C-alpha cells in the first residue's frame, strides 16, 4: 500500500485551537493509559546514553503524548533526567497539567518547529505519534536538522499502513466516548463536543485513518536517512517491533563517537 499524504484536521491553521487541544488531550490520555510505548523505553535509554545527555527534547508534543508513562518507566532505573515539552501548536493547559505531575517536566510555551529546532535546545530529540504529519520533504528536514546539530533523535509511531491498523481506527470514536469523562484537566467543552456535538470523535476517526495511511514504513524511513547529508556520521536503527497486540515503528539516530 503506497503512502498517501492526506490532511489531518489538527494540522490545519484554521482548525480551532480548543478542538485541537481536546484531540491531543485524548491522544495523551490514551498513550498513558495503554502504555503503548513500553517497548520504546530501552530505545530512549540507549539514545540518552549514546548522546551523553540527561535532557529529552520532545518535539510535536501535542498534549504531552505518553510522556507521563514514559517518565514513570525511565524513573524506575533511578536515572536523573529532564523532559522538555514543545510543539508548533502548544497545548498550554496540557503542558501545565503534565508539569504538575512531576518536577522534571518543563515546557516551551511558544511555537517550536521540529524542522528547525533552536540551537540552544541540546538533548535527545523525541517524537511520538507525530512524524507522519510531515510530508517527505519536511520529514527529511527534521532528520537533517538533527544531524546538522549533532543531536540524537528517536521517533516512534504506534500505527502503520496496514489493514489491521486501519480497521482498528474505525473503533476510535467508541474509545473517545468511553475515555472522555476521565480525561484531565476536565473541560465542559470537551463533553459538549464529544457527546452533544460529536466533532471530537469524528475528527479522531478521520485523523486516525489518515495517520495510518501516511505513516512511513521502515523502508521509507531508511530511504529518508539515505538522502541526508553527512548521514554516515550517525548510527541509525530503524525497526518495527511488537508492542502488545500491535507494533511500533521506530527510528533512532545518534552521532558516532569521535576517535
| Full set of structural domains in the chain with CATH | 29-162+212-255 (3.40.50.150)
Cell numbers 485513518 correspond to: 209
Evaluate if residue 146 carries a pLDDT over 90. Answer: yes
Evaluate if residue 185 carries a pLDDT over 90. Answer: no
C-alpha to C-alpha distance for 43 and 74, rounded to whole angstroms: 11
pLDDT of residue 156: 97
| Sign, Cα dihedral of 4, 157, 34, 23 | negative
Identify the band that residue 36 occupies on the pLDDT scale cut at 50, 70 and 90. Answer: confident
Q: At what angle do helices 67-75 and 17-34 cross, to 10 degrees?
A: 30
pLDDT of residue 28: 87
Evaluate if residue 26 carries a pLDDT over 80. Answer: yes
Instruction: Tell me the per-residue pLDDT of 93-143, one tens digit each, with 9 for 90 and over.
Output: 999 999 999 999 999 999 999 999 999 999 999 999 999 999 999 999 999
Identify the band that residue 51 occupies on the pLDDT scale cut at 50, 70 and 90. Answer: very high
- Grid cell in block for residue 3: 503512502
Instruction: Tell me the per-residue pLDDT of 199-252, one tens digit each, with 9 for 90 and over.
Output: 999 999 999 999 999 999 999 999 999 999 999 999 999 999 988 778 899 999
CB 111 within 8 A of CB 89: yes
Dump strand ranges (E) for the chain. 55-58, 82-85, 105-107, 124-128, 153-157, 234-243, 246-255
CB 101 within 8 A of CB 79: no
- The whole model's pTM is what? 0.93
Evaluate if residue 66 carries a pLDDT over 90. Answer: no
C-alpha to C-alpha distance for 241 and 252, rounded to whole angstroms: 13
Beta bridge partners of 238: 251
Evaluate if residue 35 carries a pLDDT over 90. Answer: no
C-alpha to C-alpha distance for 6 and 78, rounded to whole angstroms: 42
pLDDT of residue 177: 97
What residue spans of 107-241 are helical by DSSP H? 136-148, 163-169, 172-179, 188-191, 199-213, 218-226
pLDDT of residue 21: 93
pLDDT of residue 257: 87
Average pLDDT, integer, range 141-152: 98
Amino acid at each position: 500500500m503506497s503512502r498517501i499524504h492526506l490532511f489531518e484536521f489538527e494540522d490545519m491553521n484554521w482548525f480551532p485551537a480548543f478542538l485541537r487541544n481536546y484531540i491531543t488531550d485524548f491522544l495523551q490520555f490514551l498513550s498513558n493509559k495503554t502504555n503503548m510505548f513500553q517497548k520504546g523505553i530501552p530505545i530512549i535509554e540507549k539514545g540518552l546514553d549514546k548522546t551523553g545527555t540527561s535532557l529529552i527534547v520532545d518535539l510535536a508534543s501535542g498534549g504531552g503524548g505518553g510522556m507521563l508513562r514514559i517518565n514513570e518507566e525511565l524513573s524506575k532505573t533511578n536515572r536523573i533526567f529532564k523532559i522538555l515539552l514543545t510543539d508548533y501548536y502548544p497545548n498550554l493547559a496540557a503542558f501545565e497539567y503534565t508539569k504538575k505531575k512531576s518536577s522534571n517536566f518543563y515546557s516551551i510555551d511558544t511555537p517550536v518547529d521540529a524542522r528547525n529546532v533552536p540551537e540552544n535546545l541540546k538533548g535527545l530529540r523525541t517524537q511520538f505519534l507525530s512524524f507522519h504529519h510531515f510530508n517527505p520533504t519536511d520529514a527529511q528536514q527534521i532528520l537533517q536538522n538533527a544531524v546538522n546539530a549533532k543531536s540524537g533523535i528517536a521517533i516512534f509511531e504506534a500505527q502503520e499502513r496496514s489493514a489491521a491498523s486501519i480497521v482498528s481506527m474505525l473503533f476510535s470514536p467508541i474509545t473517545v466516548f468511553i475515555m472522555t469523562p476521565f480525561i484531565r484537566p476536565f473541560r465542559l467543552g470537551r463533553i459538549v463536543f464529544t457527546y452533544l456535538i460529536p466533532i471530537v470523535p469524528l475528527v479522531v476517526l478521520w485523523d486516525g485513518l489518515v495517520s495510518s495511511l501516511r505513516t512511513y514504513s521502515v523502508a521509507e524511513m531508511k530511504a529518508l536517512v539515505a538522502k541526508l547529508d553527512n548521514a554516515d556520521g550517525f548510527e541509525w536503527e530503524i525497526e518495527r517491533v511488537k508492542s502488545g497486540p500491535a507494533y511500533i515503528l521506530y527510528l533512532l539516530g545518534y552521532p558516532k563517537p569521535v576517535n
